[in-house]
Amino acid sequence: MSGCDSCSTDHIAKASQQQKRVLIIVLVINAGMFFVEFSAGLISHSTALMADSLDMLADAMIYALGLFALGRAEHWKNRAALTSGIFQMILGIGILVQPIYLISSNNLPDAFNMGVFGVLALVANSVSFLLLMAYREGDINMRATWICTRNDMINNVGVLLAAGLVYWLSSPLPDIVIGLIIAVIVMRSASGVIKEAWAALKT
């Protein structure tokens, strides 16, 4: 029996180390892409790029919380998931405020930069998505990280769509609309994580 217990403990420890390694990699990817994409959004006057970059920041925070919760008791994992959901919701609300500034500035977003950095972000998120796919049915904390990355890829496609429409129509409206849609996706995802984590904490 003790031999089986030892094997089980070793297996859990190994799995935990694998999760830790994956979370560190996706954390570095998302933190780096936040700075790159946010800077590109400011230079390009793009709501969609800045919204997507803030979503990258939210994900980096979620991965950091995931690292904190890794190997801890279940209630710590649920608290980490709840915190990440609340942080996502706050950023989603922040994204909603951006279009007010951009409408008043009346600047046409740079469609070329939007396309280039949209593709770069999509590649980065695709790598994260593949790394996290093995944990999509795991505990609430790892499941939340996978859901966030999946949503990011949808957002990236939205940025590319906005870039094409801005170029075609010579109007900032598609960029603003896509930015607002990204905010709604972020907030909806956050709401789901908050509800699930809160329900788990109450049981």
What percent of the chain has a predicted confidence (pLDDT) above 70?
82
Report the C-alpha gap between 152 and 131 in whole angstroms: 14
pLDDT attached to residue 159: 92
Residue carrying structure tokens 């420890």 = 13
Q: What is the pTM of this model?
A: 0.77
Range of the domain at 72: 20-202
Q: Per-residue confidence at 9, pLDDT binned at 50, 70, 90?
A: very low
- Categorize the per-residue pLDDT at 167 as very low, low, confident or very high, splitting at 50, 70 and 90: very high
- For residue 4, what pLDDT is reported? 45
Is residue 28 domain-resident?
A: yes
The tokens of 198 are what?
């809160």
Amino acid, single-letter form, for residue 87:
F
Residue 10 lies in a domain: no
| CA atoms of 99 and 173, how far apart (whole Å) | 10
Section 77-89 average pLDDT: 79
- 3 within some domain: no
Residue 140, pLDDT > 60, answer: yes
Q: Looking at the domain assignment, is residue 13 inside a domain?
A: no
CA–CA separation, 79 and 66 (whole Å): 10
pLDDT on residue 190: 81
The CATH number given to whatever domain includes residue 53 is 1.20.1510
pLDDT at 7 over 70: no
Residue 8 included in any domain: no
Judge whether 160 lies within some domain: yes
Residues 6 or more apart in contact with residue 1 via CB below 8 angstroms: none
pLDDT in tens, 15-45: 577 878 888 999 999 999 999 999 998 888 8
Question: Can you tell me which residue has the tokens 């980490």?
Answer: 80
Pair 187, 89: CB distance under 8 Å = yes
Burial bucket for residue 104 (CB in 10 Å: 0-12, 13-18, 19+): exposed
Return the structure tokens found at 104: 């008043």
Number of domains in the chain: 1
**Of residues 13, 26, 121, the one with CA closest to residue 67:** 26
- Is residue 1 domain-resident? no
Q: What is the pLDDT of residues 152-162, one digit of tens each?
A: 888 899 999 99
